[in-house]
Homo-oligomer: A and B are copies of this chain.
Amino acid sequence: MTELIERSGKATHQETRAHNSRLVLSTIYDRGPISRADVARLTGLTRTTVSDVVGELIRDGLAREIGRGPSTGGKAPILLEVTDDARHLVGLDLGEKAFRGAIVDLRGEVVSAIEVPVDDRDGDVAIDRVFRLVDRLLATTDRPILGIGIGTAGLIDTTVGTVLQAVNLDWRDVPLGALLRARTGLPVYVANDSQATALAEHVFGGPRTSNLIVVKVGEGIGAGLVLGGRLFQGDGFGAGEIGHMTVCPGGTLCRCGRLGCLETVASSRAIVASLAGTGIANLDEAVAALRAGDERVRAVVEAAGRELGLAVAWLVGTLNVERVLLVGSVAEFGEPWLAAVRETMQSSALALITQDTTVEIGRLHDDAVVLGASALLMTRELGLSLAGLPSEVAADVAEVPSAGVAAEASA
């Protein structure tokens, strides 16, 4: 409240106008086809202000008139909707085995996609690969580009787009956002890949719940937390970085340099390492062997599932979030792994908390990170209410109306 008043007291006309524009666009996006009158009713703005704003949105190509709706007595109103392909976005997923990039429209539909295999871990090569991927994607569209959204493993400072630490890409303090902004002149947002996935599953993955935990299990392990309808990133953007929690004190050496991290017992690398000597050399072969009925693989996969289940129990017990989704390459093991995760989670925290908790495989598969990064970009740049993001935008939407702009009551 105090902050609300202090900030909103300083709202300028320009801020007010930008706020109104975002509010109107967001309302048309969520509710369209919709009339100007209904936009005014829903937003509390006057008809005049709504008409002005809609005029600008139409001039910018972001909204359009699509004919008349049913009359409610008088003249039938003209209906508005957002032009879904008025802008294109570049979404990137800097994954462990491949960099995936896509052109996405304002509705989160993938227009085109390019995947580039990654088989080395050289940091400078990785940056150059990102540049070339963006160039190739931009060449595939002639629409105005809203910006670039990127999801990547590691600890990211989302405000500036700097990768503080990404073990798998050999990056440390890489200003990826600044580099790409300088190269393309476009807005760039960078987020942790598990956080981006959580956002994507929240926005595009099915019924929206207020709280959601997504755990991504591949070569690394990370979680994304949607709490109270918003992506929660913590004080240093590292919320959900559970891969390097110590679960076996004195255990196996992790690539982070410490011993017994969760990744050493539950990641794809841990599973493949446990199969040493069996002739199974990578995850794909392990998945194939499991499907063919290999009991050794099944035992290893279930053991890894139990280790992950303990971690999921910690998340669930700590947060009492009743919807958990598992994603990432290890999820390809399917049922035996999922069952092990579920059983261990259920038996490792208070029953009153775990009994209402569901653990499922995520729905978005390959596109999750790209869509999450795109959602981040759309919300930050256009104020679309795709997800309650902890952005300035999301805050503005709630705060500005009580500003010096006369939130007045006919008391």
Chain A residues with CB under 8 Å of chain B are: 1-2, 4-5, 8-9, 13, 16-17, 19-20, 23, 26-27, 30-31, 41-46, 49, 52-53, 155, 164-165, 209-211, 223, 225, 227-228, 230, 232-242, 244-246, 249, 256, 258, 310, 313-315, 317-323, 347-350, 352-353, 356, 385, 390, 397-399, 401-411
A199 → chain B closest CB, angstroms: 15
Name 15 interchain pairs, CB-CB below 8 A, sorted by A.
A1-B397, A5-B27, A44-B404, A44-B405, A155-B350, A165-B350, A225-B319, A235-B321, A236-B322, A238-B317, A238-B320, A314-B318, A315-B318, A397-B402, A401-B402
Identify which of B235, B317, B408 contacts A241 (C-beta below 8 A).
B317
Having A241-B317, A242-B317, A398-B402, one finds 19 other A-B pairs with CB under 8 Å, namely A1-B27, A1-B30, A5-B42, A44-B402, A44-B406, A165-B350, A165-B352, A211-B235, A225-B319, A234-B320, A240-B318, A242-B314, A244-B349, A245-B348, A401-B407, A402-B407, A405-B407, A405-B408, A405-B410
Q: Which residue of B lies closest to A384 (CB)?
A: B1
A373 → chain B closest CB, angstroms: 20
Identify which of B223, B349, B408 contacts A406 (C-beta below 8 A).
B408
Asked if residues A42 and B320 are in contact (CB atoms below 8 Å), the reply is: no
Give chain B residues whose Cβ lies under 8 Å from the Cβ of A164.
352
**In the complex this chain forms, how many copies of it are found?**
2
Cα of A238 to Cα of B354 in the assembled complex, Å: 10
Q: Which residue of B lies closest to A52 (CB)?
A: B411
Give chain B residues whose Cβ lies under 8 Å from the Cβ of A228.
227-228, 230, 232, 390
Cα of A26 to Cα of B16 in the assembled complex, Å: 24
Cα of A46 to Cα of B227 in the assembled complex, Å: 36
Asked if residues A246 and B405 are in contact (CB atoms below 8 Å), the reply is: no
Cα of A356 to Cα of B237 in the assembled complex, Å: 12
Asked if residues B235 and A408 are in contact (CB atoms below 8 Å), the reply is: no
Give chain B residues whose Cβ lies under 8 Å from the Cβ of A318.
223, 225, 239-240, 242, 314-315, 318-319
A401 → chain B closest CB, angstroms: 4
Cα of A323 to Cα of B211 in the assembled complex, Å: 23
A251 → chain B closest CB, angstroms: 12
Give chain B residues whose Cβ lies under 8 Å from the Cβ of A5.
27, 42-43
Give chain B residues whose Cβ lies under 8 Å from the Cβ of A19.
409
Asked if residues A350 and B234 are in contact (CB atoms below 8 Å), the reply is: no
Asked if residues B9 and A407 are in contact (CB atoms below 8 Å), the reply is: no
Give chain B residues whose Cβ lies under 8 Å from the Cβ of A313.
245-246
Q: In this complex, which of A233, A246, A258, A408 has the most chain B Cβ atoms within 10 angstroms of its Cβ?
A: A408
Asked if residues B403 and A44 are in contact (CB atoms below 8 Å), the reply is: yes
Give chain B residues whose Cβ lies under 8 Å from the Cβ of A245.
313-314, 317, 348-349
Cα of A310 to Cα of B311 in the assembled complex, Å: 12
Identify which of B44, B225, B244, B350 contacts A407 (C-beta below 8 A).
B44
Give chain B residues whose Cβ lies under 8 Å from the Cβ of A227.
227-228, 232
